[in-house]
C-alpha cells in the first residue's frame, strides 16, 4: 500500500493534536510541526514511528525552510495550516510586537510557505486545509488584531481560489467556533464548547474519499448554548 502523508502545523495541542491522532489512526504518516522539540513526548513509541517531527517558530524563515524541505522530500497529499496565535485583549493594550507576532504566524507564515512550495504543488492534486476561525468571518470583542489576521487569510485564499483550482491545488477553508482547549479552559461556557476530537473527525471526513465533490468553505459551530 502506498504511503499516505499529511503535514500538520501546530500539531502538539488542541485541534492540531486531535488531527494528528485521527490521521495516525487512519494509517497516515504525519509531518508534525510543533514549536517546541518535546511537545509530542507523550505520543507512544509505536505511534511515533509514523511521525516526522518538525520543530521551530513559524515566524522564522529557518522553520519555513524546514517545512519546505520536508514537503519536497515526502510530498504530502494534504497540508493542514492549523498553527496560530490567539490574544484576547483590548486594542489599546496590544503592543506592536504582539500585533506583528499574530500576523506573522496567522497569515504571513502560511502564504510564505505556500510561495516556497508553489511550483511543487502545481498539478499535484494536493489539498490545502486552512483552519481559520469564526473570527475570520465576523469581528468579536477583544479580538480586533486576531480577527484582522484571520480576515486577511480569508481574503487571500478566496481571491486565489480560482487560480489554484486551475493548477489542481484544492482548498478547504474551515471556520470553527470556540473549542475545548487550553485557551478556552477558563470560559464559563467551556463544557458546552465543541470537542477538538469531534472537529478532527469531521475535517478528516471532508478531505478524503471524494472523487467529484469538494468542500470550499465550511463553518463549524457548537451545538450547545
Q: 135-170: per-residue pLDDT in tens?
A: 999 998 999 999 999 999 999 999 998 889 889 999
Helix boundaries (H) for the chain: 14-25, 45-48, 61-74, 96-103, 109-121, 144-165, 196-206
Residues 103-115: tens digit of each pLDDT:
999 999 999 999 9
- Quote the pLDDT of residue 46: 65
Residue with cell 465543541: 194
223, 154, 84, 105: CA torsion to nearest 10? -170
- List the one residue out of 118, 3, 99 whose CA is nearest residue 52: 3
CA gap 169, 154 in Å, rounded: 16
Residue 91: inside a domain: yes
pTM: 0.93
Write out 117-145 in H/E/C secondary structure: HHHHHCCCCCEEEEECCHHHCCCCCCCHH
Residue 120: inside a domain: yes
Name residue 217's beta-bridge partners: 173
Residue 181: inside a domain: yes
Residue 169: inside a domain: yes
Q: Which residues contact 20 (CB under 8 A, 6 or more apart)?
A: 8, 11, 30, 32, 40, 51
Instruction: Return the C-alpha cell found at 147.
Output: 480577527
CA gap 67, 149 in Å, rounded: 22
Residue 22: inside a domain: no
Residue 152: inside a domain: yes
pLDDT, mean of residues 53-61: 96
Residue 3: inside a domain: no
Name residue 44's beta-bridge partners: none
Model confidence at 1: pLDDT above 50:
no
Total count of domains within the chain: 1
Q: Which residues contact 49 (CB under 8 A, 6 or more apart)?
A: none
Can you give the residue range of the structural domain that contains 131?
57-220
Residue 30: inside a domain: no
CA gap 101, 99 in Å, rounded: 5
User: Which CATH number characterizes residue 85's domain?
Assistant: 3.40.50.720
Model confidence at 220: pLDDT above 70:
yes
Amino acid at each position: 500500500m502506498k504511503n499516505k502523508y499529511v503535514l500538520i502545523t501546530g500539531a502538539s495541542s488542541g485541534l492540531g493534536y486531535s488531527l494528528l491522532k485521527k490521521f495516525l489512526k487512519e494509517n497516515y504518516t504525519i509531518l508534525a510541526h510543533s514549536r517546541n522539540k518535546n511537545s509530542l513526548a507523550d505520543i507512544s513509541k509505536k505511534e511515533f514511528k509514523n511521525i516526522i517531527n518538525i520543530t521551530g517558530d513559524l515566524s522564522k524563515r529557518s522553520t519555513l525552510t524546514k517545512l519546505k524541505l520536508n514537503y519536497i522530500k515526502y510530498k504530502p497529499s494534504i497540508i493542514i495550516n492549523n498553527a496560530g496565535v490567539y490574544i484576547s485583549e483590548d486594542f489599546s493594550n496590544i503592543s506592536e510586537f504582539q500585533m506583528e507576532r499574530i500576523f506573522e504566524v496567522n497569515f504571513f507564515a502560511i502564504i510564505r510557505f505556500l510561495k516556497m512550495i508553489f511550483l511543487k504543488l502545481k498539478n499535484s492534486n494536493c489539498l490545502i486545509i486552512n483552519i481559520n476561525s469564526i473570527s475570520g468571518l465576523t469581528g468579536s470583542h477583544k479580538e480586533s488584531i486576531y480577527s484582522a489576521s484571520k480576515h486577511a487569510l480569508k481574503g487571500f485564499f478566496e481571491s486565489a481560489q480560482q487560480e489554484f483550482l486551475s493548477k489542481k491545488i484544492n482548498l478547504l477553508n474551515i471556520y470553527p467556533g470556540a473549542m475545548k482547549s487550553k485557551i478556552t479552559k477558563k470560559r464559563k461556557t467551556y463544557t458546552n464548547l465543541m470537542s477538538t476530537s469531534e472537529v478532527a473527525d469531521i475535517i478528516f471526513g471532508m478531505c478524503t474519499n471524494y472523487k467529484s465533490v469538494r468542500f470550499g468553505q465550511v463553518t463549524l459551530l457548537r451545538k450547545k448554548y
